[in-house]
């Protein structure tokens, strides 16, 4: 749980015991971060993280130091192994997000916490800033059978669309949380479940001749039988 921008309480497990750890975050240079954690007020862990982008992926350099009274030093190797495991788990989750950010930035996306790439998969707010929509884009889904779902592109935007009776159901193809690619295979009945952290979305519903819907700043409607998208602002609706 974050308290302000720089401090948080982290809930973790030590063996079978839940442990709440106060954490303080900060920057020491453009691509360098530090974290200071206190364990029961008896042991302090100082962690430095440096991230660099190269060859389309993000490389992280992570170091930490453990400090305590000398009588508690026997705990350091145990704590060190525990931190190593926690770090491995977090990086497994965050690596795919960092690499996906590089891909999405190239397509014009930005992120609310874009500094530059130290991220933590347990931040719950929606983080993706969708790029502006230029022009009007259309695609035909006339061949979509009843109940069939498909991923489609409208300009640079991806969507999942499914035919349901006389309507089309529509979901964004990029998750607004951290940008996971969402595909028709992620459908679970009437909702889509994001493959990364499990956010679930209900569909927006479109009918021929009906009103438009606004999805992530883009206005989508059926025009002359085609699924059609334009900027929500240009179309005069609210994002
Ligand atoms: S990217 Fe986190 S829930 Fe979709």
Q: Is residue 125 part of a domain?
A: no
Cβ–Cβ < 8 Å for 139, 226: yes
The set of residues, in sequence order, having a beta carbon less than 8 Å from that of 2 and lying 6+ positions away, is 8, 123
The H-or-E segment that residue 92 falls in is helix 76-106
- Find the 154 Cα to ligand 1 centroid distance in Å: 21
Same domain, 135 and 227: yes
> What pLDDT does residue 234 have?
65
Would you write out the chain's pLDDT as a tens digit for each of its 239 residues?
Answer: 555 556 667 777 766 777 778 888 787 887 788 889 888 889 999 999 888 777 666 778 889 999 999 999 999 999 999 889 888 887 887 888 888 888 898 889 988 876 555 566 556 778 899 999 989 999 999 999 999 999 999 998 999 999 998 899 999 999 999 899 999 999 999 999 999 989 999 999 999 888 899 998 899 999 998 999 988 776 554 44
Rounded to whole angstroms, the Cα distance separating 24 from 26 reads: 7
Q: Are residues 68 and 145 in the same domain?
A: no
Cβ neighbours of residue 231 under 8 Å, at least 6 residues apart?
A: 132, 133, 134, 217, 218, 219
Q: What is residue 56's predicted lDDT score, i.e. its pLDDT?
A: 66
- For residues 139 and 71, membership in a common domain is answered with no
Asked if residue 94 and residue 8 are part of one domain, the reply reads yes
Kindly report the backbone phi and psi dihedral angles of residue 77, in degrees, each rounded to the nearest multiple of 5, phi listed first.
-60, -40
Count of structural domains, the chain: 2
Ligand 1 atom nearest to 178, measured from its CA: 1
pLDDT number for residue 174 = 96
Residue 227 belongs to domain with CATH number: 2.102.10.10
Q: Which domain holds residue 48?
A: 2-111
Atom of ligand 1 nearest to the CA of 195: 4
CA 95/CA 58 separation, integer angstroms: 8
The predicted model scores a pTM of 0.74
Whether residue 89 lies inside any domain: the answer is yes
One domain for residues 6 and 44: yes
Ligand 1 centroid vs 126 CA: distance in angstroms?
8
CA distance 65 to 45: 6
């Amino acid at each position: 749980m974050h308290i302000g921008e720089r401090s948080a309480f982290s809930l973790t497990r030590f063996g079978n015991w839940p442990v709440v750890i106060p954490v303080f975050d900060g920057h020491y240079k453009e691509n360098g971060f530090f974290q200071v954690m206190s364990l029961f007020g008896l042991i302090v862990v100082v962690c430095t993280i440096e991230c660099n982008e190269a060859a389309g992926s993000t490389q992280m350099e992570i170091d930490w130091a453990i400090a305590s009274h000398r009588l508690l030093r026997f705990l350091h190797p145990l704590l060190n192994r525990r931190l190593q495991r926690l770090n491995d788990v977090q990086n497994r989750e965050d690596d795919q997000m960092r690499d996906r950010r590089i891909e999405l930035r190239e397509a014009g996306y930005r992120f609310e916490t874009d500094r530059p790439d130290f991220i933590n998969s347990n931040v719950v707010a929606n983080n993706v800033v969708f790029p502006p929509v230029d022009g009007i884009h259309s695609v035909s889904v006339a061949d979509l059978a009843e109940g069939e779902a498909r991923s489609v592109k409208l300009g640079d935007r991806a969507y999942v669309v499914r035919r349901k009776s006389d309507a089309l159901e529509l979901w964004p193809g990029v998750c607004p949380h951290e940008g996971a690619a969402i595909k028709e295979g992620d459908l679970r009945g009437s909702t889509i479940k994001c493959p990364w952290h499990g956010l679930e979305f209900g569909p927006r519903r479109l009918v021929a001749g009906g009103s438009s819907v606004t999805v992530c700043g883009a206005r989508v409607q059926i025009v002359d039988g085609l699924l059609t998208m334009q900027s929500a602002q240009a179309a005069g609706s609210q994002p």
